[in-house]
Structure 1
Amino acid sequence: MSKIEKAKGFKHSKPGLWLSIGTSAFGAISVAKDVRKARAESDTLKLINALVGAAALVTGTALLVRELRRLGDDDVLLG
Structure 2
Amino acid sequence: MPIWVTEWALIDWFAGPDYPDSARQGEYAEASAAMMEELSIVERYAWFSLPYWDHIPSLGLYHPGPVATPAGEAYARAGG
TM range (shorter): 0.3 to 0.5
Q: Which has the higher strand share?
A: 2
Q: Which has the higher Rg, Structure 1 or Structure 2?
A: 1
Tell me the TM-score normalised to structure 2 length. Answer: 0.35
Q: Which has the higher helix share?
A: 1
Tell me the TM-score normalised to structure 1 length. Answer: 0.35
